[in-house]
Structure 1
């Protein structure tokens, strides 16, 4: 659902019209992310603007747009520059092991088919074109791939699935989550808590029974540094429905048609990027003091060691 781009600081920062055009092409709800390579990418862009003798007004505008938190565009996605390495050498080394969708640079390196100049960055270009929705095969590996870039930089994660259930007899809800956590851990990401929100039902066990069974049902599925928190909610009579499925973070969100549970090969579901403000509106419905739905019982928290707490 999201594409990662390496963007050379001088390619975007040394020309004001280019900066204005390119920076607006990136954000979670646009499906394009700028990899923070180097770690001080924003400072390198500002330095490029100063070296190019852009006006003080233009430089101030660049600084403000890079500092703005309204639209997150640049993310640490686990890339590194080795000491003394040129930007393009680092990018090509990283690209060889974990490919970027595109590499935006001032001059295209020889032999790199994914290289782009700023002039190439048109919405119709094959390497720059993105889709805000697509069908995803309902198998754990493909579901987790579609969600990886949404969760990798996130510090707050809410999974909304009214039908989520730890019990295997109710469906494979844990398979895609386990695959996603494994990929995040392998890429060096950790210290994340997935808050899973589901709808109450008479057939659901009470919180103390969920807590009792959780270690066995999640054994080996939660990597070190990750936790699951389970929230049970009830609709309020005359209030909003709790039916749609989402993965939501502090940066953005994806709506999932049939839901993120795995199914037989050949089954698919539609993933759709949400506008950033819409994603945050949905997240707000599940805050502890929210009044859109009624929370039932206690929060069940499970860590990688099988420790369970009722909160």
Structure 2
């Protein structure tokens, strides 16, 4: 879903260029910057200092980097070896994980772009993607939102304790596990009228299907919302945390028919304002929702 860029520290070694470039990125725009290597922010500061940036602008650079750390930078765990940054980023195993690399000098491969000559099209059309309706593809679309989530919220009125739904959840948690960061909590909101069985029966089914993750310490909270909640635009399907979110147009389900899994569905990055609104509504002011029952396991 998100396109990951690497940026050479020397290419943004002043306040003006750094501010201009960083404003192009963000979870809501579908564009993220690899924190490559993990000391990347320090390397940017060192590049600015070596370029003779004064104390006032240097303070602006430091504050800007601190501000964008959580909503534009992502840790990739990519290998960093070589005489310098350019040598390291040109390693094939590194380039294969990146969408593009912005550099100060002239490019020497297809994925490298001179930062002054990079066309605006390079930074466009990443807010919405089409993905196959199989569990793996749906989960992969959420990879970088999941990577920064200790608490993941899913809103899908049709979500039920059935394999075709929890299979997508399994794939998402496998991605978290591969990144070494399983969430502590998964919070799900569904519509009670789409599965009106008793709370005990529904809870037993969820526990059976998700037992492997429960055993690993992931806690689940399912809120089944009363049917008239649909009057408040509960139709959309969302995945979000405090930083970022996505809208899945066809929800979190892998169709049982194999041919339907080859059909495309849209996944769209949410604006920051929408993410904040969702977090407030479903987490901070949850008591205002018409919740039929809550299941915790």
Q: Does 1:134 align with 2:129?
A: yes
Sort the Cα spacing of 1:10 and 1:154 in 2 relative to 1 into closer, same or farther, 3 A: farther
Number of aligned positions between the proteins: 293
Tell me the equivalent position of 2:162: 167
Residues 136-155 of structure 1 aligned to structure 2 (within 5 Å): 136-155=131-150
Distance 1:29 1:16 in 2: 23
Secondary structure in structure 2 of the residue aligned to 1:121: coil
Which contiguous aligned blocks of 4+ residues in structure 1 show a shift greater than 4 angstroms? 219-223, 235-239
CA contact 2:150–2:182 (8 Å) conserved in 1 = no
**Number of the residue aligned with 1:7:** 7
Provide the residue aligned with 2:187 in structure 1.
195
What does residue 304 of structure 1 align with?
none
Is the contact between residue 29 and residue 275 of structure 1 (CA under 8 Å) also seen in structure 2? yes
Q: Which TM-score applies when normalising by structure 1?
A: 0.83
Instruction: Summarize the alignment of residues 231-246 of structure 1 with structure 2, pairs less than 5 Å apart.
Output: 231-234=223-226, 240-246=232-238
Report if the CA contact (8 A) 2:238-2:246 is conserved: yes
Alignment correspondent of 2:101: 103
1:29 maps to what in 2? 28
CA distance in 2, matches of 1:46, 1:85: 19
CA distance in 1 between partners of 2:20 and 2:246 (Å): 25
More helix by share: 2
Contact 1:79 1:94 in 2 (8 A): no
Alignment partner of 1:273 is 2:269: yes
The 8 Å contact of residues 190 and 225 in structure 2, kept in 1 or not, is answered as: yes
**Contact preservation (8 Å) 1:27, 1:71:** no
Offset at residue 23 of structure 1 (A): 0.8
Q: Are the structure 2 counterparts of residues 246 and 202 from structure 1 closer, same or farther at C-alpha, using a change threshold of 3 Å? A: closer
The aligned residue for residue 197 of structure 2 is 205
Instruction: Provide the secondary structure at the position in 2 that maps to 1:247.
Output: strand
The answer for the alignment partner of 2:110 in structure 1 is: 113
- Match of 1:254, SS state, is strand
Residues 206, 297 of structure 1: 8 Å contact kept: no
Query: Does structure 2 retain, via aligned residues, the 8 Å contact 1:236–1:293?
Result: no
RMSD: 2.8
Instruction: Answer whether contact 1:181 1:223 (CA < 8 A) is retained.
Output: no
**Deviation, structure 1 residue 231:** 2.0
Superposed CA deviations along residues 45-78 of structure 1, whole A, max 9, x for unmatched, are: 1221111112323222212211226971112233
C-alpha contact 2:157 2:194 (8 A) present in aligned 1: no
Kindly tell me: are residues 93 and 184 of structure 1, through their superposed partners in 2, closer, same or farther at Cα, counting changes over 3 Å? farther
Alpha carbons 1:77, 1:153 under 8 Å: kept: no
Going from structure 1 to structure 2, the CA distance change for 1:237 and 1:287 (only over 3 Å counts) comes to closer
Q: In structure 2, what is the equivalent of residue 308 of structure 1?
A: none
Which secondary structure state, in structure 1, belongs to the residue aligned with residue 267 of structure 2? strand
